A and B are shown apart, each in its own frame.
Chain A
Amino acid sequence: MDSYSAPPMGGVSPSPEAMMEQVKTQLAQAYAEEFIETLRGKCFEKCITKPGSSLGGSESSCVSRCVDRYIEATGIISRSLFSKQH
């Protein structure tokens, strides 16, 4: 199921600029989807400890907080790695 293929271009080669833009867009989409998949895994693990017949209120709010915290954690890790403060 490849959603990242470029559509067929007839007989004309895309300009380098158009190709770069297309690659950038597809990469951004791929990163976002990968991140969301990680969020699903982490937040299901932390918040849905015993799946019931529906999602409880506390489970839903846990998931919302989990998303916010994980995004925050990504920033903390990123800054920790890229500003040398040992």
Chain B
Amino acid sequence: MDPNLANNPELLQFLNQEKERAMVNEMVAKLTSVCWDKCITSSPGSKFSSSETSCLTHCAQRYMDMSMIIMKRFQSQ
């Protein structure tokens, strides 16, 4: 590998940013998949009902809450 590129701070920062962006993208994708399955139980309509919208909103937040509980519990073992 070109040693200049490995030492280029701009490039390193760029790669770190893209890594973080990829992690965020993966989390959103996973959560959307899980919450879609949980919340959209009937055939997709031409818009979401208000209960579907609340379900999706809540689903993401509750998933993150759950994730915290799991981490704490796991670390206390």
Contacts and interface: CB of A to CB of B under 8 A. Distances in A.
Between A23, A62, A76, the greatest number of chain B beta carbons within 10 A of the residue's beta carbon is seen for A76
Prevailing SS type, chain B contact patch:
helix
Nearest to B9: A16
Interface of B: 2, 4-5, 8, 10-11, 14-15, 18, 21-22, 25, 27-29, 31-33, 35-36, 40, 43-48, 53, 56-61, 64
Prevailing SS type, chain A contact patch:
helix
B56 A47 contact: no
A20 B14 contact: yes
A80 B2 CA distance: 42
A70 B18 contact: no
A76 B36 contact: no
